[in-house]
Structure 1
Amino acid sequence: MTITQLQYVLAVAEYQNFTLAAEKSFVTQPTLSMQVQKLEDELDVLIFDRSKKPISVTDVGKKIVAQAKVIVNEAGRIKDIVDQDKGFIGGDFTLGIIPTVMPTLLPMFLKTFITKYPKVNLIIKEQSTESLIKNLQDGHLDAAIAATPLEIEFIKERPLYYEPFVGYITPEHRLHSVKQLSVEDLDVSDILLLQDGHCFRDGVLNLCKTPKKLGAEHFKLQSGSFETLVNLSNEGLGMTLLPYLNSMELGTENKRNIKYFKEPSPAREVSIIYHKNELKIQITNALRDVITSIVKGAIAFQDVKIISPLSK
């Protein structure tokens, strides 16, 4: 039994297809199939039921796959131990970031990080929170940046910053004359929202705490873009809420439509999250240090109230 054989078993279990598993493992299909077969012969059990399409995992195979994940992860710790002992920060590191954070945060820290840690090969993927969680569990991401708290047993969360919500309200809107917003001012029926699946949308709905009819009466919006929400608001179709860092990127004219909340300002907690097995923790720590040092100067709000991204 080898670590490589266990890695191949995990690939087949995930993709339920030997050809695809081989592609993802960067080996030929005959090589992968032969190694999985050798392991089955050694254990004298069938891990996979090949008579079904897609391939399924047998009952005993499920137990083997679960243990294989533990063994492969623990084997990865050996290199981590050596790297940490040598003070080495380098190698491949796959980072997931949610779409409502990626456009503003990534340009702020990426150049600084790759300059400071040139031996790290940073692979960045934009994914929904749901995908981040699954990929962290499956070992396809080393860490992720998401709105928290998520309250998931196998994930560790370390806050990076607290980002206030701001209102984008044009002169035609009923709240434009208000100097500072309060949560009580909000009516979810005239707030332009991101499409389902975005944690910022869920945060806004949790903030409003009103099960009223969502969105405008004469149209339904499915957009993942804050820019689209701002443009629609400029057309008089409603107000919207933005994360503070997004508001900083607005043009001079549009910035005049920004309204801040009375303190404590509603805010989202943005954290770096990773699996509790803490592989490549030295790179995770380096990322956190760079990001917090940069964002600290950009967000000056002191008194905030964290709004959960979880739907209530």
Structure 2
Amino acid sequence: MINFSLTQLTYIVAVDTHKNFVKAAESVHVSQPTLSMQIKKMENDLGVTIFDRTKQPVMPTEIGEKIIAKAREILKHAEHINELIQDYNGVLMGTINIGIIPSLASSFLPKFLPTFAKKYPDLTININELYTENILEELKKDKLDFGIVVTPVKDEKIIEKPLFYEEIMPYFNKNHPLLQKKKLTVADLQCEDLWVLSEGNCFRSQVLNLCANNSEKAGSSKNIHFDSNTIETLVRFVDKEGGYTFVPQMIYENFSEKKKRKLKKINGLTPLREVSLVHTRTFTKATTIQEFIEHIKKSAPEEMLDKSRGTVIEWC
């Protein structure tokens, strides 16, 4: 049997990541000669060449690509063993990688993350802002530990754990006729003068599902066609150019009183979006998940934990 160490696997993954022996050595805190010697020893023991050193940047050979892919899997499983021990002992430390969708990032992170990070100083938290589809892909590739998304996502490989239910309200330009209407109904919400997020945002789909007419007409009355990933930008466009948009609760809660007067409830409907923590079935950091969920639920306003106060608007 050919023997190789986890250290050697770490070194070849580092070179593949950085495409450079010097930078790879720096990333794993060893000298470049030490790293090169260990990789060369592994190649000699295996009887194959893992890296083509004649190319710049350094590239793996055909067999090298397959070995490196397996090395990444082995290192991840080894990491899971450490995580299992930490989880068993109830210890929150190490690194956790979280994906979050753009329409939640600006409101969710400042509200909940700083206090969680302060509570667990030995836990390094990496945040990745991605669309829902990309978060699910990264979870399945084991590149993220969990995601914060709007659910349901309707994926049998993903476990959803609802955190809270955020109300969605229309926000109008000060001169919009619907703002003056005594009772606003869903039938009033035409798409022609509606500002929406760009394609790929689940909040865009939710908003269009609330629209009374064909969603393809969204923004058709405007001669400005604008793709944005931030709801705050859409709000500024409504104020400047007219029309209306939809705003989630955690964003409009921070509005000035003047801006809040441009929000209007829909008669007979309280639209909600379900915000959940999602992870795969192979996730090992159960203690971290549970602590995070409990922290969010303790920090969220009580009304946001009540699903029965409205209707969850699906997006997919």
Q: Report the CA distance shift for 1:34/1:144 in structure 2 as closer, same or farther (over 3 A).
A: farther
> Shift of the alpha carbon at 1:241?
0.7
Select the residue among 71, 83, 103 that pairs with 2:86.
Answer: 83
User: What is the letter of the counterpart of residue 74 of structure 1?
Assistant: H
User: Rg bigger for which structure?
Assistant: 2
Q: Distance in 2 between matches of 1:160 and 1:268?
A: 11
User: What is the letter of the counterpart of residue 108 of structure 1?
Assistant: K
For residue 125 of structure 1, give the secondary structure of its aligned residue in structure 2.
strand
Q: Report the CA distance shift for 1:24/1:276 in structure 2 as closer, same or farther (over 3 A).
A: farther
Select the residue among 101, 104, 119 that pairs with 1:101.
Answer: 104
Further displaced range: 277-286 or 131-140: 131-140
CA displacement, residues 116-158 of structure 1 (integer Å, 9 cap, x when unaligned): x334434242512255445545555433322233445654332
For residue 84 of structure 1, give the secondary structure of its aligned residue in structure 2.
helix
Select the residue among 214, 219, 223 that pairs with 2:228.
Answer: 223
Structure 2 length-normalised TM? 0.80
Q: Report the CA distance shift for 1:175/1:104 in structure 2 as closer, same or farther (over 3 A).
A: same
Select the residue among 41, 46, 64 that pairs with 2:44.
Answer: 41
User: What is the letter of the counterpart of residue 123 of structure 1?
Assistant: I
Select the residue among 289, 292, 295 that pairs with 1:284.
Answer: 289
Residue matched to 1:305 = 312
Residue matched to 1:294 = 299
Q: Distance in 2 between matches of 1:207 and 1:25?
A: 51
> Shift of the alpha carbon at 1:244?
1.6
Select the residue among 142, 163, 171 that pairs with 2:166.
Answer: 163
> Shift of the alpha carbon at 1:32?
3.9
**Is the Cα contact below 8 Å between 1:73 and 1:277 reproduced in 2?**
no
For residue 197 of structure 2, give the secondary structure of its aligned residue in structure 1.
coil
Q: Report the CA distance shift for 1:187/1:82 in structure 2 as closer, same or farther (over 3 A).
A: same
Any residues of structure 2 matched to 1:1-312 within 5 Å, and which? 1-19=4-22, 21-22=24-25, 24-50=27-53, 55-115=58-118, 117-129=119-131, 132-133=135-136, 135-137=138-140, 139-151=142-154, 155-179=158-182, 181-208=184-211, 210-212=215-217, 214=219, 217-262=222-267, 264-299=269-304, 302-308=309-315, 310=316
Q: Report the CA distance shift for 1:134/1:15 in structure 2 as closer, same or farther (over 3 A).
A: farther
CA displacement, residues 141-193 of structure 1 (integer Å, 9 cap, x when unaligned): 43332223344565433221222321002342242234555444333331112
User: What is the letter of the counterpart of residue 194 of structure 2?
Assistant: I
Q: Which segments of 5 or more consecutive residues in structure 2 lack a partner in the other structure?
A: none
For residue 290 of structure 2, give the secondary structure of its aligned residue in structure 1.
helix
> Shift of the alpha carbon at 1:291?
0.5
**Is the Cα contact below 8 Å between 2:97 and 2:125 reproduced in 1?**
yes
Q: Number of aligned residue pairs: give it.
A: 308
**Is the Cα contact below 8 Å between 1:233 and 1:239 reproduced in 2?**
yes
Q: Which segments of 5 or more consecutive residues in structure 1 lack a partner in the other structure?
A: none
**Is the Cα contact below 8 Å between 1:148 and 1:157 reproduced in 2?**
yes
> Shift of the alpha carbon at 1:7?
3.0
**Is the Cα contact below 8 Å between 1:263 and 1:303 reproduced in 2?**
no
User: What is the letter of the counterpart of residue 179 of structure 2?
Assistant: H
Q: Distance in 1 between matches of 2:183 and 2:256?
A: 21
**Is the Cα contact below 8 Å between 2:269 and 2:310 reproduced in 1?**
yes
Q: Report the CA distance shift for 1:230/1:67 in structure 2 as closer, same or farther (over 3 A).
A: same
CA displacement, residues 255-297 of structure 1 (integer Å, 9 cap, x when unaligned): 1111223555333222222344313331122111111232251
Structure 1 length-normalised TM? 0.81
> Shift of the alpha carbon at 1:251?
0.5
Q: Distance in 2 between matches of 1:156 and 1:118?
A: 24
Q: Report the CA distance shift for 1:177/1:19 in structure 2 as closer, same or farther (over 3 A).
A: farther
